[in-house]
Amino acid sequence: MTLSEVPVPRREEATFARDLRRMFTRIAGQYSFVDHLTTFGLDLLWRPEALWQLDRRNGPPPRRILDLGCGPGDLTFELRRHFPEASILGMDFTPAMVRRARERTGPGDPPSFGLADAQALPFKDATFDLVTSAFLIRNLPRLREGLAEMRRVLRPGGALLALEVGEPPSSWFSPLFHAYFDRVVPKVGGLLGTEAPYRYLSTSLRSLPSREAILRMLEGLGFVDGSFHLLSGGIVSTFLARAPG
């Protein structure tokens, strides 16, 4: 199967998780490059901005951090720069992504990487001070289960930080965003032999609950102090919440 023949994962099909893993396997080597290209480098600003927002409302620096859906490690390595004293573990359910992240580790004390399904984490309760993700939650076949697992592995008082693409709130900007996101981005991917995965991006956005609905879901799972913040006109949101305690 060539890159261009990778099927678009469809949430309503029983093979969704398998097709999603296959899709990310195919694009693991160029995932970061295409993200930088199609966002005009804005994705390089979103992760530091999200961590700055976390700093504004969080307490002491976290000692144990779990980065879920880490992909090739873009947020994981940003966490290492931001929290150099922390123990950081990046986890993804696609082996090719984990291999790519490990290839990027340098000398010194790099983050660790491993395989895990965000909906069934292999950790004891209350293990981490901070759980993060970047562009993961819209890909979870069972979003509530994934968020519940994040809550389970957080210690009392631990923080959740999630970056996710969102629907721009502006009535004039939203059509421009969709014209680019739905049509131009897949064409750019097609030039690199990866059109199907980038067609999936627009469908995954439409399947994502509203920001307000995600906050209500977090509250229903026991999180407190939930909030979201818009970046770049609302095309990306940061979700912040805390485990009580």
- Cα 52 to Cα 92: distance, rounded to the nearest angstrom: 24
DSSP 24-61: HHHHGGGHHHHHHHHTTTTHHHHHHHHHHHHHHH--SP
Residue 6's pLDDT is 64
Mean pLDDT of 8-13: 82
Percent of the chain topping pLDDT 90: 60
- 157: CATH: 3.40.50.150
- Total of domains in the chain: 1
Residue 5's pLDDT is 57
Residue 3 pLDDT greater than 50, yes or no:
no
**Mean pLDDT, the chain, integer:** 90
Residue 199's pLDDT is 82
Residue 20 pLDDT greater than 60, yes or no:
yes
| Token pair for 173 | 């900007």
Q: Residue 219 is part of which domain span?
A: 3-242
Mean pLDDT of 192-215: 84
Mean pLDDT of 210-224: 96
Per-residue pLDDT tens over the stretch 33-49: 888 888 888 999 999 99
- Cα 58 to Cα 108: distance, rounded to the nearest angstrom: 27
Q: CB atoms < 10 A from the CB of 227, how many?
A: 14
> What is the sign of the dihedral through the CA atoms of 8, 74, 165 and 57?
positive
Predicted TM-score (pTM) above 0.95:
no
| Residue 4: band (very low, low, confident or very high) from pLDDT cuts 50, 70, 90 | very low
| Residue 151: band (very low, low, confident or very high) from pLDDT cuts 50, 70, 90 | very high
Mean pLDDT of 229-240: 94
Mean pLDDT of 190-198: 74
Residue 120 pLDDT greater than 50, yes or no:
yes
| Token pair for 235 | 């095309």
**Burial tier of 79 (Cβ tally within 10 Å: 0-12, 13-18, 19+):** buried
- Cα 200 to Cα 203: distance, rounded to the nearest angstrom: 5
Strand 224-231 relative to strand 236-242, pairing: antiparallel
CB 67 within 8 A of CB 75: yes
Mean pLDDT of 214-243: 96
CB 92 within 8 A of CB 115: yes
